[in-house]
Structure formats: structure tokens, C-alpha cells
Amino acid sequence: MLSALLFAGLAMQMAQNPSPMTDATRTHDRVVQHKVAPGRRKGRVLIVGHPGPTSPVILHFHGDTWLPEQAIAGVFPDVTIVSLYLGSISDIYQDAYRTPEAFQALLTEAGAGRRPVYLSAFSAGYGAVRAILKHSYKRIDTVLLMDGLHSDYLGREIDPVGLDVFLQFARDASLGRKRMLITHSEVYPGTFPSTTETTDWLLKQLKLKRMPVLRWGPVGMQQLSDARRGRLVVMGFAGNSAPDHVDHLHGMSMWLRALRRI
């Protein structure tokens, strides 16, 4: 499922040609939905295996809900999953979890208790992650952002206010206090910073350099860069089309496995 925020208005841009909406170079393989989802379902909550006190509660935002559920269940034998699709723009996610009470209600629904909490987001779902980190930073153990580190322009520069809490989390991850994995494409929206620009800004603040790489990723993706320190990983991938963007969600299983290793 594509983020309307990411591509809306591209055709209206006069100063920049929009990124192509199709691509025939890479394969863009797609994950196939299982007929029967694993685990026990309680409303929006999916319980896989027999979660204990140290088993994670993973809250995912944006995209078809079955895909994150399937990816997470294939990586974690004992886990509680809540996968949410609220709409196509980030403001919807941010508004939904703007208050600590809204987030606590979600944790209660998931039966989180004191278990570690992972926040996962694709594209526009970053709005929920940013809102939650603003008020419940200490409660979050791990963050996964799949082509979804966004902010606004302030003049010709990136507005740091939109990224401040992500920078804080990335810094803590680089010091081993948290855990964070960010993937990004080469899509340039034009009206707001691309995920390449925002990750460049983030790495600059951390004085962390990208290492050039050339390797295959999941679903036909091609990785071009890698930056890591402590428990922070930033992975850059080729592609500036809509299918290249969606690849990041379909590659979720690989990102989750990488997170477990750092």
C-alpha cells in the first residue's frame, strides 16, 4: 500500500520532474499472503507462540496489516503483534497517538505489561512513531523505520524539529542504549525531504559516514550504502519509483532478522 503523502502532488511540481511511478529494472518480488495467519487473534492483536516477560510486543504502523504480521511471526517464535493501517498520510498516525493515554491504551490492548516494546513503521506510519517517542521515549526498546524517516523543509534546509526525537533515539542506539534500523530509497518527493536527505542529515549530526556497498537485498532490492555504530544501522537502497518504495515493506523479514543480530 502506497503512502499518498509520499506521491501526492508530484505531478503538480514545476521545479522538479516527479520520480517515475514504475520501474522495469529490478524484479520487485512480492510477499504472498498465507491463507491462515499463525497465532491466536484477539481483535487487532495477534499472539504468536507463548510470549513471556522478555518477549517483544511489536507495534507496526501503515501498510496492509497481514504483511507485517506474517513477517514478524516468521522471525519471532514468541511475540505479540499489533499491525495498524489508519490512512495514507502521516498526520493521521501522529494525531492518533499524540497523547500518552492513546499509546497506553494500545499497550493495554496488547497486554504489554513491562515487556520490551518495538515500534515499526513503513512510509507514513513514521508519524505514529514520532508522536509516541515524544511522550513515551523511555518505554521504547527498538525502532524500525522502512523508507519512512521524514520531516519538512525550512527554507532550503531540512527542519530539524521533525527529526529531533529520531536523532535522540539514533544517538542512544549508537551508544548501545536502544536499537534502531533505518532503510531508505532514492525517491525524491520534491515538496518535502526525501528519506535520503533525512538520513544524510541524521548521519551528519552523528558524525557517522556511509560505507559504499553493492549487494542484493530482499525482493530484488539493491543496497548501495551502509552505516552502523553500536546498535544503529542505516541501509540505503537504489530506486526512485513507487515499486522501489513498496519494496521496503516487503523486505520487512530481513530488517527484523538484522535487528535481532544487533
146 occurs within a structural domain = yes
DSSP string for 77-129: SSEEEEEE---SSHHHHHHHTSSHHHHHHHHHHHT-TTS-EEEEEEGGGHHHH
pLDDT tens, per residue, the chain with 262 residues: 444 434 443 333 334 455 667 777 788 999 999 876 678 999 999 999 999 999 999 999 999 999 999 999 999 999 999 999 999 899 999 999 999 999 999 999 999 999 999 999 999 999 999 999 999 999 999 999 999 999 989 888 999 999 999 999 999 999 999 999 999 999 988 788 999 999 999 999 999 999 999 999 999 999 999 999 999 999 999 999 999 999 999 999 999 999 999 9
30 occurs within a structural domain = no
28 occurs within a structural domain = no
Positive or negative torsion for Cα 251, 53, 36, 128: negative
Residue 163 cell numbers, joined: 527529526
229 occurs within a structural domain = yes
Inter-helix orientation angle 195-206/164-174, to 10°? 50
The torsion region of residue 172 among left (phi > 0), alpha (psi -120 to 50) and beta comes to alpha
Range of the domain at 42: 38-261
Contacts 24+ apart (CB under 8 A), 162-165: 162/130, 163/198, 163/201, 163/202, 165/130, 165/133, 165/134, 165/137
Residue 247 CB partners (closer than 8 Å, separation 6+): 26, 28, 185, 218, 219, 220, 221, 237, 239
pLDDT score, position 48: 96
5 occurs within a structural domain = no
pLDDT score, position 88: 86
CB 254 within 8 A of CB 218: yes
Give the model confidence (pLDDT) of 165-188 as tens digits: 999 999 999 999 999 999 999 998
3 occurs within a structural domain = no
Q: What is the pTM of this model?
A: 0.91
What domain count does the chain have?
A: 1
With H, G, I as helix, E, B as strand and everything else as coil, classify residue 190: coil
pLDDT score, position 34: 86
Residue 69 CB partners (closer than 8 Å, separation 6+): 37, 46, 60, 81, 83
125 occurs within a structural domain = yes
Residue 184 cell numbers, joined: 531508505
pLDDT score, position 149: 96
Phi, psi (deg, nearest 5) at residue 87 = 160, -170
The CATH code of the domain that includes 178 is 3.40.50.1820
